Amino acid sequence: MKNDLNRIVTENPSVSRMVFYEDAAENDVQGVDYDQVGRVDLAKIKNKAVLPDADYYVCGPQPFMKAQSQSLEALGVRPESIHMEVFGSPRD
């Protein structure tokens, strides 16, 4: 998947990606394997990655997606521009 994302970014100048690792392994290299360590914090990257007119695709456990959706809306992204794919148990 990493190679596919890199190819898409290379072939499409208007596409960007940011990779967050909650915990990076010793052999992971920042700037190569990931961009940020820790949970996704959109406020830290808003000037680089959050554009109010872009579409955002969020997938993950329900609590994660809810937090990201709320963060995007707080940064001025319209709810209809936030697309989510739910996985996990319905009780999340």
Structure-block tokens of residue 16: 């960007």
CB 77: neighbour CB atoms within 10 A? 20
Nearest to 58 by CA among 71, 69, 48: 69
Distance of CA 72 to the CA centre of its chain: 10
> Model pTM?
0.60
Domain boundaries along the sequence of the chain? 1-38, 46-92
Structure-block tokens of residue 52: 């109010």
Residue 59 and residue 84 in contact, taking contact as beta carbons nearer than 8 Å: yes
| Residue 38: DSSP 8-state | S
**pLDDT tens digits for the chain (92 residues)?**
778 888 998 999 888 788 888 889 999 999 888 888 888 888 777 777 778 788 988 888 888 889 999 999 998 899 999 998 876 666 54
